[in-house]
Chains A and B, each alone.
Chain A
Amino acid sequence: MKRHLAAASLSLAVLLGTTALAGAQPRGGTVIDANVGGPGTFDPAMIGTTIELETLNQMFEGLVMMDENYRAKPMIASKVDTAPDGMTYTFTLRHGVKFHNGKELTSADVLATYERYAKISPNAIVLANVGSYETPDPYSFVIHLKVPSGVFLDILKSPAYPLVIIPAEFRDKPARDPEVNIGTGPFKFGEWQKDSHFVMRRFDGYAPDESSPGPDGYAGRKTVYVDAVRYNFVPEANARIAALQAGDADVAPTLPPDLLARFKDRADIAVEKVFPGCQNIFLLSAGNAPTNNVLIRRAIAAVVNAQDIADASGQITRENPSILYAESPYYDGAAVKPYYSQNNPAKAKALLAEAGYKGEKIVLQTNSNYSYMRDEILVLAEQMKAAGMNAEVQVVDWMTNANNMAGRASGWNVSTSGFCSQPLLGPQQWRNMVYNFANIKGDTELDTAYDKFFASVDVGERRKAWLEAEQSILGKAYFIKVADAGSVFAYSKKLSGIKPWYNIRFWNVSKQ
């Protein structure tokens, strides 16, 4: 009898425990996210914008993904073996990983993904160092490099133009093909009406990484509790806030800090300010006169009062002299501090005199689409004028502004942008951007530093090489760092499990 009672008590306890657990993490419901915009495609090889990547990285997975601290962590691979010479990477794939179409993932899918990526992605340069691939069995994938690389896994982890695995049947699909929307992630493609909304649904056949205790950045063991997430595309910030206030949305991302007062009396709404978000940086063209003269560029860097400029941006910001974050193994803020927020007009005047500056026009180009960029440039122009520089502000639209920077165009000297993924992902991600946007040619010091960085398999050597590169980038004022800018989002407290990060993720989130 006692034994029966004990068994009954145990059963009851288990039942209560299970119920309590289920109560702690309820299942079902649809989360509504009033997002700024939506994706233009789901073809991972073609996606580089933050808005598109937010949905994409919840539907697709790569061999390695970015963990909570932005480092590479195996995801579809159960382990990665790196040869001591840094020339060969062997990925052992997890068994039982299923695509959203029900097919099991094998090394043939990985090979097809990588070959398609090299053929069509604008970011295909990241695979330029690959000599060959091998698929010795369905669960092994081997990459042989042409030259050693210590950062190859860091390149593969990038959530921008992500090297995530798609079925081998898509090998010959052209870029941006609408059928390329099948991955292995915990959410799958649901419904998409362009410019209106996108719905991703829970993938019930998802094979989580059981070796991890829980989610870890974009990697780890992910569990989806909600039935679906619906992204409504709401470009106007006031309308996003109103949607959250009215209960038409559960999450409202990318909010201007000056509108947060609207939530003052709303105990049912939580506001999160997330760092790191992006970095605000001035870019100086080394290809256009007069900023092709390093002394002029240094003079501009010398006048910068970063705090005044950051205050004008209307964002939440914090000081950081580096173009990396403190979490990065390559971060050395102290070493680049001398180049940051110098606020020294006298030094600028001396540099201008040394450069033989005769009042030539310095064009500060910005855009009307992003008010923070425009306001930062306006303050910089005043700081430059105070030091005797002939600064002229030119406001164009973002497309023209971005084209001029990326296309190494003439007609501008200083511009500004916000960089989100590059500082987060590390030095390897900065290279193209630095060379293109600052229009750098023939800087052997920077070339050598970057070559050493990529070739070194020793992390200490790489740190040293990156410091040389960063000192070159900031010391020669190709870039002038302004501030780290955080992002602000708000959500209904009906949601539990939201973990602030650089992007919002909906696994391990429940809705009451």
Chain B
Amino acid sequence: MNLRLLQQTARAAREIVRRLAQTVPVLLVVAVVTFALLHLLPGDPAVMIAGDQASPEVIARIRADLGLDRPLLEQLLHWLAALLQGDFGRSLLLNQTVLSAVAERLPITGSLAMLSLVITLPVGIVLGTLAAYYRGTWLDSGVMGVALLGVSIPSFWIGIVSILLFGAVLHWLPTGGYVPIAQGVRPWLACLIQPAVVLALFQIGFLARLTRSAMLDTLHQDYIRTARAKGLGEWLTVARHAFRNTLIPVMTAIGIILSLLIGGSVIVEQVFALPGMGRLVVQAIMARDYPLVQGTMLLFGLAFVLINLAIDALYVLVDPRVRYG
């Protein structure tokens, strides 16, 4: 028994290492595509640094200082060589390394995404399950209507309305900004709850619709009929048999949702004045801060790959039919 468990663990470890090795070419493609797209964009960071009073000579000098006058292939190879040594480069405008700029902002975006996920998962799954179970009733229509609204209303609009209502009118929550958790859980939560809910609304709609669809499929399976036929209670039938089988597509969706939450933070951080990764990337793109955009995109790529890897690993726990090796 122990030997089998050991063999299974070894197989799982080998699979994880194999999948990790596969991330290298994926990240290389991300790196090259990001570099190429960024340099295809018109605009020159030297102009941004030089300001509107600068002469073309000054701009040219800054370009040379930054190495932007070198051939693109040389710049790309130089960057990739530095990456191999763990050097993500230095921001052109922030006067700090890309990694330190990301490290300052990652906890904020990370907290926002995780809080949003914590709201999304129970709400989305419960609503989707209820809608499926009471299919065709007012509850189903109501839940799906709310889900449709959630995926349809732009988050910047909900964000502004939320700030005006809960901040300016009711004075329940701050109108924006961020307080680190070290200064207290309550002010930290007060700052994040509004943006997290706004960010979650879209994902709740998406997850509820997906859960409903998966649950409907499951509820029509033979084993559910069998469970009911053998006299199992309705609660146990749905909770133990239907729900667990619904989890596989839902778990796939969780990976996508987490990626979307990180991506969606760009707009929400802007509206709620949160100093996170989203604002960092937007400002870096606007200023054509090449190393910062390239570095953050690569780290985003790495995060997405790892999230998907973690989801794949979790399949084994949820579904005993899934085996590695």
- Given known contacts A161-B53, A239-B272, is B168 in contact with A195 (CB within 8 Å)? no
Whole-angstrom distance between the alpha carbons of A403 and B177 in the complex?
32
Chain A residues positioned under 8 Å from B55 (CB to CB): 125, 432, 436
Chain B residues positioned under 8 Å from A236 (CB to CB): 160, 176, 270-271, 273
**Does A172 lie at the interface of the complex (its beta carbon under 8 Å from any beta carbon of B)?**
no
Q: Smallest Cβ distance from B41 to chain A, in angstroms? A: 7
CB distance B95 to A193 under 8 Å?
A: no
CB distance A432 to B53 under 8 Å?
A: yes
The interface bits of chain B over 160-176 (1 if a CB of A lies within 8 angstroms of the residue's CB, else 0) are 10011001100100111
**Does B208 lie at the interface of the complex (its beta carbon under 8 Å from any beta carbon of A)?**
no
Interface hub of A177, A178, A242, A249 (most chain B Cβ within 10 A): A242
CB distance B51 to A123 under 8 Å?
A: yes
Whole-angstrom distance between the alpha carbons of A432 and B62 in the complex?
17
**Does B212 lie at the interface of the complex (its beta carbon under 8 Å from any beta carbon of A)?**
no
- Given known contacts A238-B160, A397-B286, A406-B59, is B167 in contact with A248 (CB within 8 Å)? yes
Whole-angstrom distance between the alpha carbons of A400 and B285 in the complex?
11
**Does A194 lie at the interface of the complex (its beta carbon under 8 Å from any beta carbon of B)?**
yes
Q: Smallest Cβ distance from B47 to chain A, in angstroms? A: 5
Q: Smallest Cβ distance from A151 to chain B, in angstroms? A: 15
**Does A402 lie at the interface of the complex (its beta carbon under 8 Å from any beta carbon of B)?**
yes
CB contact list, A174-204 vs B, under 8 A: 176-178, 193-197
The interface bits of chain B over 26-69 (1 if a CB of A lies within 8 angstroms of the residue's CB, else 0) are 00000000000000011110011111111110110010000000
Whole-angstrom distance between the alpha carbons of A406 and B58 in the complex?
12
**Does A433 lie at the interface of the complex (its beta carbon under 8 Å from any beta carbon of B)?**
yes
- Given known contacts A160-B53, A236-B273, A396-B42, is B47 in contact with A406 (CB within 8 Å)? yes
- Given known contacts A122-B54, A406-B52, is B42 in contact with A400 (CB within 8 Å)? yes
Chain A residues positioned under 8 Å from B51 (CB to CB): 48-49, 122-123, 160-161
CB contact list, A471-494 vs B, under 8 A: none
**Does A234 lie at the interface of the complex (its beta carbon under 8 Å from any beta carbon of B)?**
yes
Whole-angstrom distance between the alpha carbons of A433 and B50 in the complex?
13
- Given known contacts A122-B58, A122-B62, is B42 in contact with A48 (CB within 8 Å)? no
Total interface residues on A, CB under 8 Å, equals 50
CB distance A433 to B53 under 8 Å?
A: yes
**Does B209 lie at the interface of the complex (its beta carbon under 8 Å from any beta carbon of A)?**
no
- Given known contacts A195-B279, A197-B177, A433-B53, is B167 in contact with A402 (CB within 8 Å)? no
**Does B275 lie at the interface of the complex (its beta carbon under 8 Å from any beta carbon of A)?**
yes
Set B54, B105, B167: member contacting A195, Cβ < 8 A? B105
**Does A40 lie at the interface of the complex (its beta carbon under 8 Å from any beta carbon of B)?**
yes
**Does A325 lie at the interface of the complex (its beta carbon under 8 Å from any beta carbon of B)?**
no
Chain A residues positioned under 8 Å from B178 (CB to CB): 196
CB distance B94 to A194 under 8 Å?
A: yes
CB distance A399 to B48 under 8 Å?
A: yes
CB distance B167 to A246 under 8 Å?
A: yes
**Does B93 lie at the interface of the complex (its beta carbon under 8 Å from any beta carbon of A)?**
yes
Q: Smallest Cβ distance from A45 to chain B, in angstroms? A: 11
Chain B residues positioned under 8 Å from A397 (CB to CB): 43, 286
**Does B283 lie at the interface of the complex (its beta carbon under 8 Å from any beta carbon of A)?**
yes
Residue of A nearest to B160 (CB): A238
Q: Smallest Cβ distance from A76 to chain B, in angstroms? A: 23
Chain A residues positioned under 8 Å from B270 (CB to CB): 235-236
CB distance B44 to A48 under 8 Å?
A: no
The interface bits of chain B over 255-285 (1 if a CB of A lies within 8 angstroms of the residue's CB, else 0) are 0000000000000001111011001100100
**Does A370 lie at the interface of the complex (its beta carbon under 8 Å from any beta carbon of B)?**
no
Residue of A nearest to B269 (CB): A195
Residue of A nearest to B101 (CB): A194
Chain B residues positioned under 8 Å from A197 (CB to CB): 177
CB distance B43 to A403 under 8 Å?
A: yes
Q: Smallest Cβ distance from A303 to chain B, in angstroms? A: 27
CB distance B43 to A400 under 8 Å?
A: yes
**Does A407 lie at the interface of the complex (its beta carbon under 8 Å from any beta carbon of B)?**
yes
CB contact list, A204-257 vs B, under 8 A: 232-236, 238-239, 241-243, 245-249
Chain A residues positioned under 8 Å from B48 (CB to CB): 399, 402
Interface hub of B51, B164, B167 (most chain A Cβ within 10 A): B51
29 pairs, A vs B, C-beta closer than 8 Å: A41-B95, A48-B51, A123-B54, A161-B53, A194-B104, A195-B276, A195-B279, A196-B178, A233-B275, A239-B160, A239-B271, A242-B163, A242-B164, A248-B167, A248-B175, A248-B176, A369-B286, A397-B286, A399-B42, A399-B43, A399-B47, A399-B288, A400-B41, A403-B47, A407-B44, A407-B47, A432-B54, A432-B55, A436-B55
